[in-house]
Every structure is written in structure tokens, then in C-alpha cells.
Copies of this chain bind each other. A is one copy, B any other.
Amino acid sequence: MPLWRRPGFLVRRLHQIHGAMFAEECASFDITPVQYAVMTTLAHQPDCDQNSLAVEVGLDRTNAADVLRRLARQGLVLRRASGLDRRRVLSRLTPRGTTILEAMQGAMVRAQQRLVAPLADVEREQFLATMLKLIEANDPTLPPRRANGRPTQAQK
């Protein structure tokens, strides 16, 4: 099976390409795609614990904690222990985090669109639908479906 017929290989290359595009569009902010996804989720679910956040964004718990620690270091996120359950660490965006999230929105959307820009509308929708189908069919950790059929609620 040649490299270019291996789905995993193609997905890896696409992942790389998107990372590069995101970095280009968002160079002035020094925020990575994963960090942006975490910030997006925190904007909708303030004071989220790390486990829930990891599930939402599709991260390993350990990795989610790493990302949050780096965001906290940059002053974009505030982490503090929960009063109700002292095992938990709750995170929320700081005002600066919210500002940067909003300022980056345009660049993020451009990066997303550039990746699939070579596709016609129909093919693009088909492509997104196929990826969604593969993720939902293959990811055992995926949360149960909500009413609208998407794994999570709509966001911004």
C-alpha cells in the first residue's frame, strides 16, 4: 500500500498543512489551533473543569492540563480550585483572553477556509460530512448525541 493511498498518511499531511496555515494567519497572536479551540470552549463554558474541557475539545486529560497551564502563563486563562470539590481545577478566560479570542476570530476563520478552499461547495460539504461521520463512528470516547445530532452544542 503506497503512502499516498494510506488514509492515515493523508490525514497526517492535512493536519500539518492546517497547522501551518493557522500559524500563518494567526502569527501575530502566538496562539495555536488547540489553544484556540480550548479558548473557544471556555468562552461558552466558563469555570469548566479540566476533564470536561478535554472531552469537549477532544484532548487527553494530561494534555488539556498542559494547554491550560500555558494559557494561564500567558495571562489568557485563570485557573483556580473549586470550592465545592477540591479535586477540581476550574478554568475561565481572563478579560485579556476574551479580547484576544475575539480579535483572532477573523484569522481563525480564514485559516479554516483556506484549507478547503480548493473544493467546490458541494465537495466541501461532502468532505466535512464524511470527516464527521468517521469521527463519530470511530471515536469511542465521544459523548452521547444531543438532540440536534451533533456531539456538542452549537458554538459561536
Q: Is the CB of A3 within 8 A of B152?
A: yes
What is the interface of chain A, defined by CB distance below 8 A to chain B? 1-19, 21-22, 33-34, 37, 40-41, 56-58, 108-109, 111-112, 114-116, 118-119, 123, 126-128, 130-135, 137-139, 150-152, 154-156
Q: Is the CB of B40 within 8 A of A7?
A: no
Q: Is the CB of B152 within 8 A of A4?
A: yes
Q: Which of A133, A134, A156 has the most CB of B within 10 A?
A: A134
Q: Is the CB of B37 within 8 A of A150?
A: no
**Would you list 12 pairs from A and B whose C-beta atoms are within 8 A, ordered by A residue?**
A2-B152, A3-B41, A4-B132, A6-B108, A7-B128, A8-B19, A11-B115, A12-B18, A13-B58, A17-B134, A127-B127, A127-B130
Oligomeric state, in copies: 2
Query: For the complex, what is the distance from the CA of A17 to the CA of B108, rounded to whole Å?
Result: 23
